[in-house]
Amino acid sequence: MNEQAGADRDPRGALAWLWLSAFIVVADQATKALIVTTFELYDRVQVLPIFGITRLHNTGAAFSFLASAGGWQRWFFVAIAIAVTVLVCVWLKRMPRTGESWLAASLSLIVGGAIGNVLDRLFRGHVVDFLSFHWERWFFPAFNVADMAITVGAVILLVESFFDGRRKEKII
């Protein structure tokens, strides 16, 4: 029996990729714990001329979207993140264990980032952001390890879907 075919029929599918999600959650929560224990809110350390570490709290989503919505958004974002996590895990389970590595990695990065930020919302009531890039007086919104994982996962997902579509066009 072909090992590849056996791996493709593994009932766990690509769920093995969730180790990457777990790594992201641990890295995200560890860096946030370090920031919370060493920085007061709004404390800033300039690391490079364009980069600093600043402890910020975000009750909204990306770019502080809905941050001043009155509190309901916390549970809204928790519900969305949990739903996305469940859907992605189902998708990973149904995916062949081999042959879809980029797709599985991208989904696992997104899940890890979503869980990292959900843990903040559940236990802190806000997401801790601390990575801050700027150019002179222009500041890019602060972010964290979970946000980086979600962004990288989304970019890989888009690139993979583009190239997957092009591969299918050539076959047809």
Domain extent, residue 19, equals: 14-38+54-60+69-171
15 φ/ψ angles, rounded to the nearest 5 degrees: -60, -20
Q: Is 164 tagged catalytic?
A: no
Catalytic residue among 10, 28, 120, 129: 129
What pLDDT, on the 0 to 100 scale, is given for residue 13?
Answer: 67
Residue 3, domain member (yes or no): no
In residues, how long is the chain? 172
Name the DSSP class of 40: -
Q: What's the number of domains the chain is made of?
A: 1
> Residue type at 109?
L
Residue 46, domain member (yes or no): no
Residue 4, domain member (yes or no): no
* Lowest-pLDDT range of 12-16, 32-36, 63-67, 70-74: 63-67
Q: Specify which of 1-15, 63-77, 126-140 reaches the highest per-range mean pLDDT.
A: 126-140
In 3D space, the residue among 71, 51, 73 whose CA is nearest the CA of residue 61 turns out to be: 73
> Residue type at 94?
R
Note the Cα 114 to chain centre separation in Å: 5
Q: Is 10 tagged catalytic?
A: no
CA-to-CA distance for 128 and 167, rounded, in angstroms?
A: 40
Catalytic residue among 8, 10, 28, 147: 147
